[in-house]
Amino acid sequence: MARESRFRQIHLDFHTSEHIPSVGQDFDARSFASTLDKARVDSITCFARCHHGWMYFDSEKFPERIHPHLTNRDLLKEQIEACHSYGIRVPIYTTIQWDYYTAMRHPEWRVIGPEGELVGTKPYEAGFYQEICVNTPYRDFIKAHVREILETLPVDGFFFDIVRQQDCSCWYCRQGMLEKGMDPTNQADRLAYNKMVLDDFKLQLSDFVRQYAPDASIFYNAGHIGPYVWESKDAYSHFELESLPSGGWGYMHFPLTVRYARNLGIDCVSHTGKFHTSWGDFHSFKNKAALEFECFRMLALNCKCEIGDQLHPSGKIDQYVYDLIGSVYSQVEKKEPWCREARAIVEVGVFTSEEFTGERVPVATAGAVQMLQEGAYQFDILDSRSNLERYKLLILPDAIKLKPELAAKLDQFVADGGKLIVTGLSGLNPEGTAFALDSLGIRLKDNPTLADDGLPAGGREVGTCLQYVDYILPGEGVGRGLPPTEHAMYLKAVEIEAEPGTEVLADVAASYFDRTGEHFCSHRQTPSSGKVSQPAVVRNGNVIYFAHPIFTIYNKNAPRWCKQLVLNTLELLLGEPLLCHSGPSTTLATINEQPNENRWIVHLLHYVPERRSQEIDIIEDVIPLYNLEVSLKIDEPVKAVTSVPDMQALPFERKDGRLNLILPRLDGHQMIEIAF
């Protein structure tokens, strides 16, 4: 990592059509930089080249690519110099796989789909989303373009945009696959080859940049960070998590992604936007409460802040946008001392099914994240390569099928005293024919119910609406807080039997029949027959298995009883959690530690996204909480408890290995310092 990332960043888009005149005519370098400084911005990513393919600096190598109506050919250079005079960093943006100028003039460099089609925006549709393949001579252009920037401009870093896996069948990719003994007609081979191409592209380009600028920050944006980065991780100086909640990512993408990315050993920054919706939403403003929540949540989850904006084609910076940003970043600045070099304290690890299913936002893992956040548990997101030593309990949500190496790793984790929760199809071998974990204490039933595709119906979304529904009868311990009667499970349980010695914690009650055109009942699912058909939840020592894909169900419908069952199970295995509070489930609570300061920092946030529109969730109001009781499992002596940065001492008591305190008022976000 070149250096620790700054806390208050801007990502400044400037995708500007050639049909707009007088581009940059109103740019004023002093006004630009002073406005950023007043808004407490300490880093801003500015444009060398945009998705339209135009450049915004005085390129001698590619003068034909300079925006035809750019009035000031030193625009980027002036932005950099003005910002540097205020101590503001300026990483440089350039696009990679979207470049309209290049795509129109070099169709032979474009990604070709398996049917021979050019992938991306069609010729007579609006948009510059024509995908370009970096396995073509286009790579030479990129290298020459980057070299010119390095040789002619001050370079703090690079943001390389749109660098992501493609299913490409261009001539260069087909030839490359054949040379490696791969089959171009096989999609799995095409995707595997393209990943090798991208990993090589990133590693080579970063090596090239570091020859000129060893300390430059470097990031490759794919709109997401996931297990795909392992092989090319050395190409990055840090990660930037593009995650605009109103821009298609939603409010669940960021916590899922950052809880994974923060464990990969390099610094994390996250994007949100000043936009009401997403990139390119000119002249719109995010509600202040939403921008606060999105930035303060970044701090709570060990991430630096970055707000997306788009400069008007005139080049004039919008004072009112930066009044909004400054109202939030001035608060971030005061909070930074309690966030710098902080790391999460956790006890639970949740495996991401992204590695196993390829979903960018895996629904099962997202359901687990939502449940655990609502229950105030402290947790990370893991993959098969993660180190498991930090965690007391692991969760395999719904779709984690296990190769022998990972199965052995998990069985050893349990043998060493670790706790495990497995749900749905997780724990099976990759073929789905048997359980790969010896520690589960269950086996598959013979002759399961088959769906129309010929595969077992249990454990997955399949068939028509609510075709396969059964019911759970919660037992006494796992069902605490629930009435002892049937509860609907909207996806069918995996059909299992318990091995001798395995304890059954809850049963499945079958419906009278599956819903089909031949036999159906009422508007939705068939009701319970009252007959127990199999175990629903079983326990074998430190391992608990749910036969239903309970996290997928929660992600889809959020039945409270599903969450209650899982939280009860966590309590059965873990006992008292690290943190609990008296607030509503809309309260987000995290614990970070600053080892150099010998202190913990508890973050408490209460902002409530509402679906006020058809497309996006809205946060408009801050709803304060009063006299919030907070309890922490802490063994070592505590010197002081203080609300920060307002530095108000909070009374506390120690009892039965826990520290208990009351926060008089929570207005959106509050940090509490626990000094040892």
Which residues neighbour 229 within 8 Å (Cβ) at sequence distance 6 or greater? Answer: 236, 239, 264
Place of tokens 């999609």: 187
Quick one: pLDDT band at residue 464, thresholds 50, 70, 90?
A: confident
Q: Coil, strand or helix: which one is 232?
A: helix
**Neighbouring C-beta atoms of residue 358, cutoff 10 Å:** 13
Predicted local distance difference test score (pLDDT) of residue 484: 94
In angstroms, what CA-CA distances link 290 with 136, 325, 669?
A: 42, 12, 12
At 14, is the secondary structure helix, strand, or coil? coil
Q: Is the peptide bond before 645 cis (omega within 30 degrees of 0)?
A: yes
- Residue 327 to residues 238, 289, 465, 553, 620: CA-CA distances in angstroms? 27, 11, 47, 39, 15
Residue 138 near residue 166 (C-beta atoms within 8 A): no
Residues 587-630: pLDDT tens digits? 999 999 999 999 999 999 999 999 999 999 999 999 999 999 99
Q: Are 602 and 579 in contact (CB under 8 A)?
A: yes
Rg (CA), the chain: 27
Return the structure tokens found at 577.
């959690």
Report how far residue 178's alpha carbon sits from residue 222's, in angstroms, rounded to the nearest whole number. Answer: 27
DSSP secondary structure string for all residues of 256-298: HHHHHHTTSSS-EEEEEESSSSSTT-TT----HHHHHHHHHHH
Burial class (CB in 10 A: 0-12, 13-18, 19+), 47: buried
pLDDT, tens only, 349-408: 999 999 988 887 889 999 999 999 999 999 999 999 999 999 999 999 999 999 999 999
User: Who's near 642: CB < 8 A, 6+ residues apart?
Assistant: 648, 649, 650, 672, 673, 675
Rounded mean pLDDT of 638-660?
97
Indicate the residue type of 81.
E
Express each pLDDT in 34-43 by its tens digit: 999 999 999 9
Domains of the chain: 8-340 (3.20.20.80), 346-574 (3.40.50.880), 579-675 (2.60.40.1180)
> Quick one: which of 579, 586, 668, 674 has its CA closest to 629?
579
